[in-house]
Structure 1
């Protein structure tokens, strides 16, 4: 990890093309916890597929990147409101990395199921920062969704001029 750089979604000049493989729309880079002090690998390259979900399906409360404890809060207030941490409500979390098997993750944590919504929030297993995604236990198809703008990307040996 010493010679690699991690970038956030907003650091890319064209994230919709730079973050995906050209042939199959999968993640082009390893995905890490967004917390700069955490080195936790969440998902390896080519295991997540970029998908879009309707805004009404966007159920993530604000992320808690500054606190390293108790970041998967279950309060009704956070469950029902849109993110207020600078993410645009018109574009808020409509793009996700989709997985269909939770065992595909390298290291991930889940909250308890929220009874009202059937959601389990996804967080970093090492530092508990999150939520970075969710799993809807009431959905017909099993899927685990990681918000593209709530994680960091290891671009390996690429130089930063190619990113921004």
Structure 2
């Protein structure tokens, strides 16, 4: 079972890397669809493993963009780790609407808050609309894809028996 979990984590992390190559136009080059696979992974992996996929996905997206915020991407990757863990826990607990509201608020509004103090209020205010838009785009795509993949997996699992 451990090998299956690690393999799925690696698969979702790789999908996050691919999603990181699909950029969302903004003033920040690292906004991308890297979170969609991590959110979907919450349906198949324990929360810590889903968070790991999100963290690796952000790191790859930032690397592809040339690390526009430098070492501050470590903070963002850790935030993604924590946010996706909480999202996965809400998913496992059956809080279907709350998990999406939490993700949008946490990732789109709360996660950028440290940059108000670390960079500048102007950077925070200027980047917030793009971050919120990218968060909503990632959430909508994941919300559409997640039930389809879960259903396909359940159907496939039933056919194998």
TM over 0.5: no
Q: Which has the higher strand share?
A: 1
**RCO comparison, higher one (Cα < 8 Å, 6+):** 1
Q: Which has the higher helix share?
A: 2
Please say which structure displays the higher CA radius of gyration: 2
TM-score using structure 1 length: 0.26
